Amino acid sequence: MQELLNTLTLGSIYLLFALGMALAWSTIGILNFAHGAIFVFSAFSAHFISDFVPLSMPAIILISVLVGATLSALTQWLAFEPILKRSKNHRSAELRILIGGIGVAAIPIALVDWATASAPFGFANSSYSTQVYEIMGLRITNTSLIVIIAGVGIAVGLTLWLRRSRQGLGLRAIGVDSETASLMGVNRTVMAIGTMAIAGGLAGLAGALQVFQLQAMGVETGDQLLIKAFAMIVLGGLGSMAGVILGAFVLAGAESLIFAANMGTWVDAVSFGLIFLVLLVRPQGIFGRQEVRRT
């Protein structure tokens, strides 16, 4: 049971991170390789500010979310939009966005690396303190609770918003066919930047919560999480938010099992292996539909 709870916490952080990535990828078609760097940099910004002024938890989270959203929107505006405008075909755009993302990612990561001298950072100066509750023999921290509630709540909310609301429909229309969408009066550029801001905000949220949960974060966390998130998204099936939720918890569960079996050094192989397995056996993922591409 305790294991399950830990899995749930881990999965919720994965989920928050992957949701943003999945949202941008499945709607505006951007797989942002700087998502991991944004995650790290947002949390670091909060850490940096909280070193000067003691901040409460909500303030730290707010800073992290805002930094993430800004960074992500800027990336879209300054890098990805120009690339899309200058690409002659989809394949070329895809590769250039991947490379552009990698280039952009290097900048904040290098800054953090330089500022922390590669040491993990935390929110030592925050007014927040961890408390442990015991409920029916289960030990749960207040952080875990917050993480799980935020993760599951936002995931469900986002899923519903995409399905029900007008903006959500517009966004999904872009994902399906951007030409039709623009006929429907959806302003692609504004939508794209907005979507990326949401995605980045989610990365910032995940970053702050991760630091609260684990007390510290290393610079390299971002890249690892990026690949894990990819595994979650392909497992669930691109385009399906429910799939991301499933993917996050399956991955977290599998990793917990590996740890429980005392095979911690293999833990990264789970996500890499999962990517492989899914792409080979069921490339459209569990909930994904087969892609029909017109020539």
Ligand X SMILES: Nc1ncnc2c1ncn2[C@@H]1O[C@H](COP(=O)(O)OP(=O)(O)OP(=O)(O)O)[C@@H](O)[C@H]1O
Provide the binding-site residues for ligand X, judged by CB under 6 A.
292, 294-295
Beta bridge partners of 138: 135
Residue 58 found at the interface with other proteins (CB under 8 A) = no
The one of other proteins, ligand X, none whose footprint includes residue 269, by CB under 5 to 8 A per kind, is other proteins
Nearer to ligand X, 136 or 292 (CB): 292
Beta bridge partners of 135: 138
Residue 289 found at the interface with other proteins (CB under 8 A) = no
CB 24 within 8 A of CB 32: yes
Nearer to ligand X, 134 or 291 (CB): 291
Query: Of residues 257-276, which lie at the interface with other proteins (CB under 8 A)?
Result: 265-266, 268-269, 271-273, 275-276
217 φ/ψ angles, rounded to the nearest 5 degrees: -140, 135
CB 128 within 8 A of CB 56: yes
- In the complex, least distance from residue 293 CB atom to ligand X, rounded to whole angstroms: 7
The one of ligand X, other proteins, none whose footprint includes residue 234, by CB under 5 to 8 A per kind, is other proteins
Buried/exposed 98-115: b ≥16 CB within 10 Å, e otherwise: eebbeebbeebbebbbee
Size of the site for other proteins (CB under 8 A): 45
The one of ligand X, other proteins, none whose footprint includes residue 262, by CB under 5 to 8 A per kind, is none
- In the complex, least distance from residue 292 CB atom to ligand X, rounded to whole angstroms: 5
H helix intervals, the chain:
2-27, 35-52, 57-75, 81-86, 90-116, 142-164, 166-176, 178-183, 188-214, 221-236, 241-260, 267-281
- In the complex, least distance from residue 295 CB atom to ligand X, rounded to whole angstroms: 6
CA distance 219 to 243: 28
Residue 251 found at the interface with other proteins (CB under 8 A) = no
Residue 118 found at the interface with other proteins (CB under 8 A) = no
Least Cα distance to 289 among 243, 246, 245 occurs for 243
Helices 188-214 and 35-52, packing angle to 10 deg: 60
Binding mask 203-222 for other proteins (x = CB under 8 A): --------------------
Counted residue by residue, the chain has a size of 295
- In the complex, least distance from residue 88 CB atom to other proteins, rounded to whole angstroms: 5
Do the strands 132-135 and 138-141 form a parallel or antiparallel pair, or are they unpaired? antiparallel
- In the complex, least distance from residue 118 CB atom to other proteins, rounded to whole angstroms: 12
Which residues contact other proteins by CB under 8 A? 31, 79, 82-83, 86-88, 91-92, 94-100, 102-107, 109-111, 113, 223, 227, 230-231, 234, 265-266, 268-269, 271-273, 275-276, 279-280, 283, 292, 295
